[in-house]
A = this chain, B = another copy of it.
């Protein structure tokens, strides 16, 4: 299963553990053995991917640690309304490195931010939020966002409502959010 083969999985897992170590995050052996590697189905995981350790995911609360390789991107997506709530709400707190976070916002008052005359295409205006260690940002449900690590990679703690990755809606229709844990 999955698009990541075992060698690639081991390589990414090792890199993720190095990042967690730089962030001084202590994991159990079981957590270390089961780092989730998500390649989003694009087959270029060192550019577009994410390494994840999920501490807890109950009906109500989820906490994860995310490791991003240098310049690695988690692609544009949103967390839509679900049967049991209005969609996942999540707070990202940077622990190591730097994270460039782009969150759907309102068009600026400034006219240059408006779609050009006659363009006719819908486009999303993003606010850029740069998170350094100790800084955080909360993303509410149904809000389009994406993020990218700086050149040293990044470690981010995520505090959220229940996580159901399979519900996420990605802007790029080629993307499938399948956990790529190879066992």
CB within 8 Å of B: which residues of A?
Answer: 23-24, 26-28, 31, 55-56, 58, 60-63, 85, 89, 91, 93, 95, 133-136, 138, 157, 159-161
Contacts and interface: CB of A to CB of B under 8 A. Distances in A.
A56 B136 contact: yes
A61 B91 contact: yes
A89 B27 contact: no
A154 to B, nearest CB: 13
A111 to B, nearest CB: 34
A176 to B, nearest CB: 27
A119 to B, nearest CB: 36
A58 B85 CA distance: 15
Contacts of A159: 55-56, 61-63, 159
20 contacts: A23-B24, A24-B24, A26-B95, A26-B134, A31-B134, A55-B91, A55-B136, A55-B159, A56-B136, A56-B138, A56-B159, A60-B85, A60-B89, A60-B161, A61-B61, A61-B160, A61-B161, A63-B63, A63-B91, A159-B159
A63 B161 CA distance: 11
A89 B58 contact: yes
Contacts of A161: 60-61
Chain B CB within 10 Å, residue with most, of A27, A56, A160, A161: A56
A21 to B, nearest CB: 11
Contacts of A23: 24
A60 to B, nearest CB: 5
A142 B31 CA distance: 29
Nearest to A29: B134
A10 B85 CA distance: 42
Contact of A61 (B89, B133, B157): B89
